[in-house]
Structure formats: structure tokens, C-alpha cells
Copies of this chain bind each other. A is one copy, B any other.
């Protein structure tokens, strides 16, 4: 169950909606009289929310869940509220909050609760943190216990560095960013404003570059990676994701890029603005991805590829050639019961000869029908 605010800290519904709606969505409380008395301590689903929580109906198919809902308030579209009222005589236990975009309003509320939680965390530089003398920490930077901030690294105002983070020398982190515990930045990594980096993230490890070593047959000589990693504004990077530094140029993540957990971005890649990738995706080196791409989980990309803007790749798909046209692309072996799979998979290795056999039969049939019609012609002559 989610952590709730203590009752004495729970805001009134009206104040909560006002403070949360930083976008100006606008929403109306159906029964304004209750708006100052109702205290909202958290958010719940229609089925789980209790009498101090707010909930929301964004998928109209779930409207039946409104019936037994125990929430203090429910955000829903005006038309869904009218339909509910038309179908029910007694007033519901919850106050209706009318809003054209309930899901987005829920997102804003969730952000409000998370900001509130963060604001309650202890601030300042923890005495156990190791901060280089020539590191530059702007106003209101928080550094957690046992974090390390190395020489000449600059942290923007309002940014929070979690416990156990290690920031190498010559890094930059923009303002109002949040580095959760145990993030690692190698030297010279640059990150924009409002970044969210999760635990275990590693930015700037060496790209995978080797050349055959002329001194030992079969051995590899390391190509030291001298480029950096450059990350735009408003980027979120999930737990244990790694982005390697470039060989000579930088590896670049554009503005608004969202990476889920355990993603691997190879050296010299360039990921366009607002592109989002679900977990476990791998992108080999020097691949360029356009803007607003959406990549399903565990998709894999070869190196030196180019993807256009607005490309969607389904989860589990391997991409080994350029995709120059927007659209959705897929390549997944369909699941089956194991014995069925065995029978069908055995044919995969014979597809090329099968196609030949079919072609042979087609030719034969064509020849025969030509022959037959010739015969028939002969017959009638």
C-alpha cells in the first residue's frame, strides 16, 4: 500500500487541486461545500482507495468500479459523472471532481505528493559526503550521505544527489535534478536541468572499442574512449541503465528522453528528443535514433543504424538495418505450446527449399494446364 501523509499534513481537496494543477487543466468540485473539509492523504485506485484518498476514472470501461468506491473524491469527465448520476439515485460516498483529462490530473496529483515527500527529506550536505574543494555547488544543493563529488564538478541549484552517488571530475548536472542513490557519473559527463537518474545508473563508462592487437594473434588492443556523454534537459534514466561515453565525439541523449531500467546505450549513439524506451533495450554503438520514437521493452538495435523520427518498435524486436520511414515495426517469433513450436520451428530451417518446391509445383501445374489446354485443343480439333 502506498505511503500516505499523516492526517495533520493532508491538504484539503480544494487546496490540493489548486496546487497540483500546474498545467492549468482546470477542474470543478461537484459539491463545493465539501472542498475545504475533505482532507486528502494520498491517491488510490477506484477499488483500493480509502476515505482519505482521491481516485480517478480515466478508462470509461471501468465505470462500474465507481459503485462501491470508498474514496474521498473521484476525478472523472463531466459526461461520465452525468452518466453516473443518471444511473444512480443515492449520492455516492465520494465527491466528484470534474475534469476533461482525469488521467493527466491524476499525474499532476501524483507529482504533488512526490514533491511533498521530497521536500520532507533532510537537506544540505551530509557530513559524510566527500566533496572536492573545487567542486561548485549552486544554491540549495543537497548531497546525501557517502556521496562523492570530484574535482571541478558543478551541480545546479536545487539539485539533490542521493546517498552513495559517485560523480567524477569535470561533470555538470543541471538545476532541479534528482539523482537517486548510487548513481555513477564518470569524468566529464554533462547533464541538463530537471534530470531524474535512478539507482545504479552508470553514465560515461568506456564504449566497447577494440582493434586487433598486432603483438598477439587473436588478442584485442583497447581503444581508449575520449569522448563524453551529453544529456539534455528533462531526461529520466531508469535503474541500472548504462550510457557509454563516445570514442572521440560524445554520446548524446536529447531533451525529454525517457529511458526505463537496464537499458544499454552504446558509444557515439545519438537519441532524439522525447524518444522513450521501455526496459531492457540495447542500442549498439553509433546508432542515431530520431525524435519521438517509442521503443518497446527488450528491443535490440545493431550499430551504425539510422532511425527516422516517430518510429515505433515493438518489444522484443531485433533491428539490424535502417528504418527511414515513420511507422510501427515488429519482428517477434510467436509463442506456442512447446511441442507445437518444435514442429513449426523445424520447418524454419527448410523455408528456402520449401519455397523452391512450391515454385516447381506451380511451374509444373502451369505447364500441365498449358499442355492440357493444348491437348484439349488437339482433342477438339
Q: Are A345 and B334 in contact (CB under 8 A)?
A: yes
Does the CB pair A352–B362 fall under 8 Å? no
Q: Is residue A9 contacting chain B, with contact meaning CB distance below 8 A?
A: no
Q: Which residues of B contact A314 (CB under 8 A)?
A: 338
Contact of A187 among B117, B246, B258 (CB under 8 A): B117
In angstroms, Cα B334 to Cα A351, docked, is 12
* Interface check A200, CB cutoff 8 A: yes
The complex places the Cα of A244 from the Cα of B279 at a distance, in Å, of: 11
CB of A207 to closest CB in B, whole Å: 9
Nearest Cβ on chain B to A74's Cβ, whole angstroms:
13
Q: Given the interface contacts A226-B43, A261-B205, A284-B278, does A256 sit within 8 Å of B214 by beta carbon?
A: no
Q: Could you tell me if A248 and B170 are in contact, using CB atoms closer than 8 angstroms?
A: no
Q: Chain B residues near A324: list those with CB within 8 A.
A: none
- A274 adjacent to B218 (CB under 8 Å): yes
Tell me the chain A residues, 325-381 only, with Cβ under 8 Å from chain B. 327-338, 340-352, 354-355, 357-358, 361-362, 364-365, 368-369, 372
Give which listed residue, B187, B228, B262, contacts A1 with CB less than 8 A. Answer: B228
**Pairwise interchain contact A260-B208, C-beta atoms closer than 8 A:** yes
A residues 300-315 touching B (CB-CB < 8 Å): 300, 302, 312, 314-315
Say whether A318 contacts B316, CB under 8 Å: yes
Chain B nearest CB, measured from A101 CB (Å): 7
**A63 in the interface (beta carbon within 8 A):** no
CB contact between A352 and one of B199, B331, B344 (< 8 Å): that residue: B344
Do A280 and B264 touch (CB < 8 A)?
yes
Q: CA–CA, A341 to B335, complex, Å?
A: 14
Q: A104-B214, A343-B352, A365-B365 are in contact. Are A219 and B274 (CB under 8 A)?
A: yes
Contacts of A278 in B (CB 8 A): 208, 284
Q: What residues of B have a CB within 8 angstroms of the CB of A352 in the complex?
A: 340, 343-344, 346-347
Residues of B within 8 A of A223 (CB): 106-107, 110-111
The answer, yes or no, to whether A156 is at the interface (CB within 8 Å) is no
User: For residues 139 through 188 of chain A, which have their beta carbon under 8 Å from a beta carbon of chain B?
Assistant: 144-146, 148, 150, 162-164, 166, 168-170, 180-182, 184, 186-188
CB atoms of B337 and A328 under 8 A apart: yes
Measured between alpha carbons, how far is A196 from B222 in the docked complex, in Å?
10
Known A-B contacts A219-B234, A264-B279, A300-B280; the reply to A188 vs B3 at CB < 8 A is yes
Question: Are B338's CB and A349's CB within 8 A?
Answer: no
> Which residue from chain B places its CB closest to the CB of A372 in the assembled complex?
B368
- Distance between A314 CB and nearest chain B CB, rounded to angstroms: 7
Chain B neighbourhood of A209, CB < 8 A: 107
A344-B349 in contact (CB<8A): yes
Q: How far is the CA of A108 from the CA of B226 in the complex (A)?
A: 12
The 20 sampled A-B contact pairs (Cβ below 8 Å) are A2-B246, A103-B211, A110-B224, A114-B225, A117-B187, A163-B166, A180-B205, A202-B261, A205-B261, A216-B256, A219-B274, A242-B262, A262-B282, A264-B297, A280-B300, A320-B332, A331-B332, A331-B333, A332-B345, A333-B348
